[in-house]
Amino acid sequence: MSEIVSLLHASLLVADLARARAFYEGVLGLSPSPSRPRMSFEGVWYPVGEGQIHLIQLPNPDPVSGRPEHGGRDRHTALGVMHWDALRARLDAAAIAYTLSRSGRRALFVRDPDGNALELMEV
């Protein structure tokens, strides 16, 4: 029997790659990987620990509006964050809305400009 041992990447659909990059790079502080091969659609890959986040500029079949306000009640990608307070301050400075985890952990839920929910948890 095979065994799943790691998450290699999470792909997120975005409508406007430049706008998404401003969020992922400018606010979250991720750096793009030069290893993304040429594809038939635009995108960018971000190394995150041993895995990656793939932004893919393609039409989104899911509604962006009408999603739960709290990303913990929606599908989301959880990311471990060092210097959590500094990241929270960057979100505040950029006037980006988020909700705190209801579990009491130092974690928050934020949506990117395309409505993709991210959980940012202190590690």
Question: For the chain, which domains are there?
Answer: 9-122 (3.10.180.10)
pLDDT tens string 10-31: 999 999 999 999 999 999 999 9
pTM tops 0.75, yes or no: yes
- Which residue type is seen at 56? I
Contacts of 27 (CB under 8 A, 6+ apart): 90, 91, 94, 96
- Share of residues in the chain with pLDDT > 70 (%): 100
Count the residues in the chain.
123
pLDDT tens string 36-71: 999 999 999 999 999 999 999 999 888 888 899 899
State the Cα–Cα distance between residues 63 and 51, nearest whole angstrom. Answer: 27
92's enclosing H/E stretch is helix 84-93
The three-state secondary structure class of 41 is coil
Is the pLDDT at 76 greater than 90? The verdict is yes
Average pLDDT, the chain: 94
Report which of 97, 115, 9 is spatially closest to residue 60, judged by C-alpha positions: 115
